[in-house]
A and B are shown apart, each in its own frame.
Chain A
Amino acid sequence: MKRPLTQAHIARLADTNIAIVENNQGVAASWYMADSSAASAQYGLIGALVSAGMDAMMNAGPAGRAQQTADDLATIALADKLNQSLRAQFDAMKVAQAPDGSGVRIAEVSTVQKILSPAAVNDAVEVNISYTLSEDATALNIVATAAYSDPAAKYVTPYTFKTVPKDELDGPLYRNSFVYESNRFALPTLGPEIKQAMVEAIQKKYIAKTGSLPVSANAARRSRYSAPLKESKDYEDMSQEIKEANDNTLSKSEAAGLLTREWLKADGAFLLKELESAHAYIAKYVLLDLNSTAVPSLEGADQVVEQMQDGRTVRLVGAGIGAGTYVSSPGGLKDFTTFGNAIQIADVHRKKISQLQETAKKQSAKR
């Protein structure tokens, strides 16, 4: 739920710094993780072992494909590049604001690395952001949260509750969310070319991973009467993925593999354009919202605040726990999308997070 500023707060904030919390994950690829632990719990230890094995087999394909998608997207959109792009949009807003304007204005824009400095930044609006690609890679959801904390001023909920919930008793003075839903790609239609392209992509992935195409351990077996040799894990995983690619259904994660290429086409033109649009929208609406004292009605209706030529709309959510959130959505949607229950982040980002955590540990040990 939005926590709006009051007129007195706005007057007190006046020229305020923006601290962009550095995103470390980049664009995450979502997928559905299978979990049968509850179903097998009744069969004790054996059941747990069997279900763990089955889950691992079922998850290997989708997780591997999501990992590949995340790695591919990181070749164009590294987290550092995303942070710079968001910062540039806030800088542009700072330049664009009227020199003698009133209300909350942007003073300085900076970035902060929360793994190294987890404490809240004083007298600054902190902007957190995340990027999630849908399970089938048709859409990208970008969610930003802006919050302003002031240790000297206690938050008082503007909402009326029978009993005030605990999370409305303290915390930031101002908070709101800003969602950008990207323009979407249509799902590809399954045909022989698509199957072939999927098989080639799988083989390419394993060549990149192991240096050569995994081959069957039994390929050179001389006699069919001798005991079959155990296949390597890479060969087994690749064979399973190729089998899935050749069945007559296009799974969401297979579609993601194909559509990732569309996101990356022409040096990631589409991806970069969507990211820039999202960052511009976030910078614009954060500043606008900081200057709004409107308290959303929790039972109201959504309000359209901006309508664009291409059918995109920005609406202000009017009801429920998301009341006050701004959502920018494309128009003319023709298919449904899903965002799974798990995400994969690129290896390059995972390594960077580990390094930052190591540095943070060393820093805290020195203190």
Chain B
Amino acid sequence: MGPDRPYGYKETKREDGSYVLLIQHPDGKKAYEFWDRRAAELCGSKIYEKNIFRAIRPTIAVPGYSATPGMPILEGYLTCGSAAAPAATPAAASPGQ
């Protein structure tokens, strides 16, 4: 993800082994789907805890033209495993696409 790739995903591994996972996708529903898909890839299973703390469409404004809601941005904390079970070993983080 970057200036030449306006949408995709990016994850950052935190010191405690959990992740911050960011998805940018033109379709908000798909953004949620992709968040879960990437979370399952990172955790190696669908057992994980998620806490989405950012779900926003930033305003894109160009003077003289109508402003529009921009690309949906979805960001959340991912902890592999559940609160009851110990966290699974996360898969190696790959660079964002």
Contact = CB atoms under 8 A, between A and B. Distances in A.
B95 interface: no
Chain B contact-residue range equals 20 to 34
B67 A33 contact: yes
Contacts of A306: none
- Output the residue of B28, B54, B74 with the most chain A CB within 10 A: B54
B64 A35 contact: yes
Contacts of A130: none
B63 A338 contact: no
Interface of A: 32-39, 41, 301-302, 304, 311, 313, 315, 329-341
A339 B59 CA distance: 7
Interface of B: 12, 14, 20, 28, 51-59, 61-69, 72, 74, 76-77
A335 B59 CA distance: 16
B53 A337 contact: no
B67 A329 contact: no
Contacts of B61: 341
27 contacts: A32-B67, A32-B69, A33-B66, A33-B67, A35-B67, A36-B65, A37-B64, A38-B62, A38-B65, A39-B64, A313-B77, A329-B53, A329-B54, A332-B51, A332-B52, A333-B54, A334-B52, A336-B57, A336-B72, A336-B74, A338-B57, A338-B59, A338-B69, A339-B56, A340-B59, A340-B67, A341-B59
B52 A333 contact: yes
A326 to B, nearest CB: 13
B4 to A, nearest CB: 18
A186 to B, nearest CB: 12
B83 to A, nearest CB: 12
A51 to B, nearest CB: 10
